[in-house]
């Protein structure tokens, strides 16, 4: 039966995986948000940008990772850059969608009231767009966790390492353990973010009724 060293490995890989995901998401959020602010009111530009990132998204992850390796070498940097690029598509799309979903009278009233751009964003647009934004973040997080598994192939660490090791060494506990943790992590992300989304939706619709 698996000995303490095994659990040690599992835990270490788990932490690596979480770190990778957190960093990638953190880095991805800012440019995605800023880009969305720039393009949300210009529909042709928005379509162009979103389609562009959408094309990136269709690239198979291993191919993208390999390309990153050429530029940045093996390791975490390449993995994170790849994950950030993939996340852009999901994040930008949802950020823009959220902003565009605000109805015209509300927007007009907000403009006419005398808000500055950032005040309007903070007081009016963000609370109303938040549910869609959060769902985008949730989807991007799940997607990033997935890609991080593959990233183990380029020495980025994470739970994928154990899966590849398990496959190469025909070691079932490693495969099972790592897979289980990936599933648990994904479930946790889903449940947690979903709840915040539901709350944000209620707030946007007019208080928690």
Partner 1 sequence: MPSIQLDNVSKSFAGRVVLQPTNLEIAAGEFVTILGGSGSGKTTLLKLINRLHQPDTGVIRLAGDDLSQKPVTQTRLNMGYVIQQSGLFKHMTVAENIEIVPRLLKWSKSAIHQRVDEMLELVGLEPKLYRERYPLQLSGGQQQRVGLARALAGNPPVLLMDEPFGAVDPIVRQRLQDEMLVLQAQLGKTIVFVTHDVQEAFKLGDRVVMMQDGSIHQYDTPNEIMTHPADGFVESLVEAGGSTTTKNTETRISRLSTWRSNHPPFLKSFFTKPRRV
Partner 2 sequence: MMKNPHMALKRSGWLLFLGVIVYVVSSFYILEQNQSPELVIGSKNFTESVIIAEYYAQTLENAGYRVQRKFNLGGTFIAHQALQRGQIDLYPEYSGTAFLDIIHQEPPFDSRQSHAILDQNYQKRWDIRWLDFSPADDSFALVLRRDTVNRFHLKTVSDLSTVASKLILGSIPEFEERVDGLPGLKRKYGGFHFKHVDLYDNGLKYQVLKDRRVDVTVGFTTDGPLSDSSLVSLVDDKHFWPDYHVAPLVRQSALNRIPSLQQILNGANSQLTNTTLQQLNAAVDLKHQDIRLVVRDFLRLKKSQLTLQKTPLFFGTQLAAKQESR
The residues binding partner 2 (CB under 8 A) are: 2-3, 5-6, 8, 11-12, 14-15, 18, 74, 155, 161, 165, 167-172, 188, 191-196, 198-199, 201-203, 208
Q: Residues of 47-70 as b/e, b for ≥16 C-beta within 10 angstroms? A: eebbeebeeebeeebeebbeebbe
Cβ–Cβ < 8 Å for 156, 174: no
DSSP assignment of 106-173, as one string?
HHHHHHHHT--HHHHIIIIIHHHHHHHHHHHHHHHHHHHHHHHHHHGGGT--SHHHHHHHHHHHT-HH
Q: Which does residue 60 bind out of partner 1, partner 2, none, counting CB within 5 to 8 angstroms by kind? A: none
Output 60 or 105, the one with its CB closest to partner 1: 105
Q: Which does residue 8 bind out of partner 1, partner 2, none, counting CB within 5 to 8 angstroms by kind? A: partner 2
Output 98 or 157, the one with its CB closest to partner 2: 157
Contacts to partner 1 by CB under 8 A: 105-106, 108-116, 119, 123-124, 127-128, 203-207, 209
Q: Is residue 206 classed exposed, middle or buried when 0-12, 13-18 and 19+ CB atoms within 10 A define those classes? A: exposed
Taking the complex as a whole, how short is the minimal distance between the CB of residue 50 and partner 2, in angstroms? Answer: 26
Q: Which does residue 172 bind out of partner 1, partner 2, none, counting CB within 5 to 8 angstroms by kind? A: partner 2
Q: Which does residue 62 bind out of partner 2, partner 1, none, counting CB within 5 to 8 angstroms by kind? A: none
Q: Which does residue 111 bind out of partner 1, partner 2, none, counting CB within 5 to 8 angstroms by kind? A: partner 1
CA distance 132 to 31: 18
Taking the complex as a whole, how short is the minimal distance between the CB of residue 100 and partner 1, in angstroms? Answer: 17
């Amino acid at each position: 039966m698996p000995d303490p060293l095994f659990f040690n490995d599992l835990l270490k890989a788990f932490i690596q995986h979480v770190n990778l995901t957190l960093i990638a998401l953190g880095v991805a959020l800012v440019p995605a948000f800023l880009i969305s602010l720039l393009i949300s009111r210009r529909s042709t530009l928005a379509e162009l940008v979103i389609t562009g990132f959408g094309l990136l998204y269709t690239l198979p992850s291993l191919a993208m990772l390999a390309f990153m390796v050429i530029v940045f070498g093996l390791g975490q940097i390449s993995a994170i850059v790849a994950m950030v690029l993939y996340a852009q598509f999901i994040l930008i799309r949802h950020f823009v969608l959220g902003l565009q979903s605000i109805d015209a009278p509300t927007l007009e009233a907000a403009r006419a009231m005398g808000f500055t751009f950032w005040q309007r964003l903070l007081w009016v647009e963000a609370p109303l767009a938040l549910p869609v934004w959060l769902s985008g973040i949730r989807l991007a997080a799940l997607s990033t966790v997935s890609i991080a598994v593959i990233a183990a192939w380029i020495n980025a660490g994470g739970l994928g390492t154990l899966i590849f090791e398990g496959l190469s060494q025909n070691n079932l506990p490693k495969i099972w353990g790592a897979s289980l943790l990936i599933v648990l992590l994904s479930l946790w992300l889903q449940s947690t973010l979903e709840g915040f989304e539901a709350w944000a939706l209620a707030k946007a619709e007019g208080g928690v009724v």
